[in-house]
Amino acid sequence: MHTSSKIYVAGHRGMVGSAIIRRLKAEGFDNLVLRTRQELDLIDQRAVEDFFAVERPEYVFLAAARVGGIHANNTYPAEFLRNNLAIQTNVIHSAWKNGAKKLLFLGSSCIYPRDCRQPIKEEYLLTSPLEPTNEWYAIAKIAGVKTCQAYRRQYAFDAICAMPTNLYGPNDNFDPQDSHVLPGLIRRFHEAKLRGDEAVAIWGTGQPLREFMHVDDLADAAMLLMRSYSREEIVNVGSGDEVSIAELARLIADAVGFRGRLEFDPSRPDGTPRKRLDISRLEAMGWSARTRLQPGIAGTYAAFLAAQHDPVERTAP
C-alpha cells in the first residue's frame, strides 16, 4: 500500500473511520475516496455496485456500521441485524468484484460468547452462546467475518478481519440513549454537572469488567494489518487492560468534574460479565496500545466539548 494508492474508507465520518483517515493523512496518503451517507447509502446494493465500478479503489477499510450500546441493541434489533448485514455484504462483494487488492473488515469483540474463558482467544468464536443484549449486532459481525473468509477461500480475495475491543475517542456517539457506556457516561455526567444534580444513575451493578482502547490505537493496528497481514484467521485488537464499570464511571466523573453521587441500578442489565481480549497474535507482530485510559478519557471529553456545535450522524458513513 503506497501513499498514492487509491483507498476507500467506508464510514469515514464515524469514530473508527475518522481515526483511520487521520492516520492515513499523517502518513502522506492523499488518494482517498470518501463518501458521506447522503452521497452513498451503503445499504443500497445498486448504489454501492455503481460506486465501486466507477471508483475502483485498491484498498478498502470497512469501518461503516450501525452501532450502539445495550439500550440501542435491545430497541432496534432488526435494524442492527439488517443494516449491518447489508452494509458489509454490499461492500465486500463489490470490492472483490471490482478488483480491490485488499479489504480490512472491522468487527467487534461482542462476537465472542457471553461466558468466554479469559482472556478471549480468536479461536473461541462460536464455541458457546452470545450475550443476549447485543446478539443482533454480534450475529451480523460474525456473518461479516465468515463472508470475508468465504471470499478468500472461493475467490482468493485478500479480505482480512480485525476484532477491536470496546473503543472510545473523538467522534464517538455521545447520544444519551443509543451510545456505548463510556461516551454515554461522559454526556450524562457533563449534563448533570451543568444542572447541578446531586447524583447520576448508572445501569447495572457496576461490577462487570471491560477493556477499553483509544480509537487512535486501533487506527495504528489497522494500518499494520493492512500492510503486513494476509490470513483467514481473525485478529484481536485490544489494550490488554481491564476496568470495572464502577471504576470507569469514577474516572469519567473526575475528568468531567462531576462531584455528585454515583447510584448503580441493579435492576438494569449488566451485559457480559467480563470481556478481555487475548492480543498475543497482534503483539507478535510488534504492536501494542499506547494510550492510557485516564488521559484518553480526558482527551475524549475535550473532543466532546469541542464538537457540541457540530453534531454528526454516526450510524452510517
What does the pLDDT look like over 21-53, one tens digit per residue? 999 999 999 999 999 999 999 999 999 999 999
Q: How confident is the model at residue 139 (pLDDT cuts 50, 70, 90)?
A: very high
90 is in an annotated binding site: no
Across 88-103, average pLDDT: 98
pLDDT of the residue at 310: 52
pLDDT of the residue at 72: 84
pLDDT of the residue at 120: 97
Locate the DSSP E strands across 20-142.
Answer: 32-33, 59-62, 102-106
**Cis amide bond preceding 295, omega within 30:** no
Across 284-298, average pLDDT: 97
Helices (H) and strands (E) in the chain, counts: 10, 13
28 is in an annotated binding site: no
Buried b (16+ CB within 10 A) or exposed e, 65-82: bbbbbbbbbeebeebbbe
In the predicted model, is pLDDT for residue 69 greater than 90? no
107 is in an annotated binding site: yes
Across 227-253, average pLDDT: 97
CB 207 within 8 A of CB 163: no
Across 200-213, average pLDDT: 95
Taking Cα atoms as reference points, which of 301, 271, 73 lies closest to residue 187? 301
102 is in an annotated binding site: no
pLDDT of the residue at 79: 95
Q: Which of 137, 151, 168, 229 is catalytic?
A: 137
pLDDT of the residue at 146: 98
pLDDT of the residue at 18: 97
In the predicted model, is pLDDT for residue 311 greater than 90? no
17 is in an annotated binding site: yes
pLDDT of the residue at 313: 41
164 is in an annotated binding site: yes
| List of residues 6+ apart from 237 with CB closer than 8 A | 162, 163, 164, 165, 213, 217, 218, 221, 222, 277, 279, 282
In the predicted model, is pLDDT for residue 315 greater than 50? no
pTM of the model: 0.92
When the pLDDT of each residue in the chain is averaged and rounded to a whole number, the result is 94
Predicted confidence (pLDDT) per residue in 142-194, tens digit: 999 999 999 999 999 999 999 999 999 999 989 877 788 999 999 999 999 99
309 is in an annotated binding site: no
Taking Cα atoms as reference points, which of 225, 227, 215 lies closest to residue 282? 225
pLDDT of the residue at 309: 54
Q: How confident is the model at residue 54 (pLDDT cuts 50, 70, 90)?
A: very high
12 is in an annotated binding site: yes
Enumerate domains of the chain plus CATH numbers.
Answer: 7-306 (3.40.50.720)
pLDDT of the residue at 67: 86
CA 26 to chain centre: 21
137 in catalytic set: yes
pLDDT of the residue at 317: 35
pLDDT of the residue at 177: 72
